[in-house]
C-alpha cells in the first residue's frame, strides 16, 4: 500500500498507507497513528500482514523477471513507498549493475528516508511528484537523466493505484505512461480487489477515514483487468499476487477471504 494523492498535513496524527505498509512489513519508519491504524486493520482482516508480505514478494519476482527474462534495465517505481529490505534498485542491480531506477512519491516522510537510496550511486533517484500528474513525472529532470524512453522501461504500479480515487483516473494514468513507453516495455501492477461489495466498502471506508481522505478504493477484479487491455499479459496473467510465478518452496494462496491483491506483468506490444 504505497502512497499517492495529497500527502497528509499532520503526519504525526494522521495515518498514511505507505507508513502503515512499512509497519506491516516490520519497518521502523512509521508513527503511532500508522501503527494504531494498522492494528485496527489487522483486527478487521487478520491476513493483512501476510497480504503485505505477499505483495512485496510479488514486486521482487516481477523485477527479477523484468531483468532476467525481458532484458529491461530501466525502472519507474510510481508511489514507491518507504524503503525496505530489497528495494527495486537493489534487486535490479543485483542481476545487472547497469540498471537505472527512479522512485516517485509525494509523502515527505517517504522522501526524507528515500534520499538515503542515493548513496547507492548515480543510477538511482527519488523524485517528489504526484502520480496523478504523470506528465510532470515523465518530464522531471531526473527521469530524463536516467530513463531513455526509446528503450524498454518497466513502469511499476505496485499497490499504489488503489490509493487513487476515481477522480484521479487510475486507468488513465497507466494509459498515459504506456503512450510514452517503447515496445517491449513492461507494466507491473498490483491492486486490492474484492468480489464482495460489503467488504469493498468496509475496507475503503476504513482506510479513507484513518488517512484523512487520502485514499482511493478497493475495486472489482474486472475493473483492474480492463486497465491492461491492449497489453500482452505475461503468464500466468492477472492473478492473486502470491500465485504470480512463485519461487520454489512458496505456498501460493489468498491471505484473506474478503479481499485479495491481484498482480500482473504486462508487455507493451
- Which domain CATH number covers 99? 3.40.50.150
Q: For residue 35, is it within any domain?
A: yes
Q: Which letter does DSSP use for residue 75 in this model?
A: E
Q: For residue 27, is it within any domain?
A: yes
DSSP H helices, the chain, are 17-24, 32-44, 48-68, 88-95, 108-114, 134-138, 141-146, 170-178, 197-210, 221-227
Q: What is the pLDDT along the chain (269 residues), one digit of tens a residue?
A: 455 544 444 455 678 777 888 888 888 778 898 899 889 888 887 888 888 889 999 999 999 999 999 999 999 999 877 666 678 999 999 999 999 999 998 777 667 666 666 656 789 998 888 889 999 999 999 999 999 999 999 999 999 999 899 999 999 999 999 999 999 999 999 999 999 999 899 888 888 887 777 789 999 999 999 999 999 999 999 999 999 999 988 877 766 677 899 999 999 99
Residue 253 C-beta-side C-alpha neighbours within 13 Å: 6
Question: What's the CA gap between 81 and 83, in Å, rounded?
Answer: 7
Q: For residue 111, is it within any domain?
A: yes
List the domain range (segments joined by +) for residue 139.
17-267
Joined together, the cell numbers standing for residue 184 give 517491449
- Find where cell 491481484 sits: 262
Q: For residue 63, is it within any domain?
A: yes
Query: What is the number of structural domains in the chain?
Result: 1
Q: For residue 49, is it within any domain?
A: yes
Q: For residue 6, is it within any domain?
A: no
What are 94-138's pLDDT values in tens digits?
999 999 999 998 777 667 666 666 656 789 998 888 889 999 999
Quick one: pLDDT at residue 207? 80
Q: For residue 8, is it within any domain?
A: no
Question: What's the CA gap between 23 and 1, in Å, rounded?
Answer: 11
In terms of Cα–Cα distance, which of 71, 23, 31 is closest to 49?
23
Amino acid at each position: 500500500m504505497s502512497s499517492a494523492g495529497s500527502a497528509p498535513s499532520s503526519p504525526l496524527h494522521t495515518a498514511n498507507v505507505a507508513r502503515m505498509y512499512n509497519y506491516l512489513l516490520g519497518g521502523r519508519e512509521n508513527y503511532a497513528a500508522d501503527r494504531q491504524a494498522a492494528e485496527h486493520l489487522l483486527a478487521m482482516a487478520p491476513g493483512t500482514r501476510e497480504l503485505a508480505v505477499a505483495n512485496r514478494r510479488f514486486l521482487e519476482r516481477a523485477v527479477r523477471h523484468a531483468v532476467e527474462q525481458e532484458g529491461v534495465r530501466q525502472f519507474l517505481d510510481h508511489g514507491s513507498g518507504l524503503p525496505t529490505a530489497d528495494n527495486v534498485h537493489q534487486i535490479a542491480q543485483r542481476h545487472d549493475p547497469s540498471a537505472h531506477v527512479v522512485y516517485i512519491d509525494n509523502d515527505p516522510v517517504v522522501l526524507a528516508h528515500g534520499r538515503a537510496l542515493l548513496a547507492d550511486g548515480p543510477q538511482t533517484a527519488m523524485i517528489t511528484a504526484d502520480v496523478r500528474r504523470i506528465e510532470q513525472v515523465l518530464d522531471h529532470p531526473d527521469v530524463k537523466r536516467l530513463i531513455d524512453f526509446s528503450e524498454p522501461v518497466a513502469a511499476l504500479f505496485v499497490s499504489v493505484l488503489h490509493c487513487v480515487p476515481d477522480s484521479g483516473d487510475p486507468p488513465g494514468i497507466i494509459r498515459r505512461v504506456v503512450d510514452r513507453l517503447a515496445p517491449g516495455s513492461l507494466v507491473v501492477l498490483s491492486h486490492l480487489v474484492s468480489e464482495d461489495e460489503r467488504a469493498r466498502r468496509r475496507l475503503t471506508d476504513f482506510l479513507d477515514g484513518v488517512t484523512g481522505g487520502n485514499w482511493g478504493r478497493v475495486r472489482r477484479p474486472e475493473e483492474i483487468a480492463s486497465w491492461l487491455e491492449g497489453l500482452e499479459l505475461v503468464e500466468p496473467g492477472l492473478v492473486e499476487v502470491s500465485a504470480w510465478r512463485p519461487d520454489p518452496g512458496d505456498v501460493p494462496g489468498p491471505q484473506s477471504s474478503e479481499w485479495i491483491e491481484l498482480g500482473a506483468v504486462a508487455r507493451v506490444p
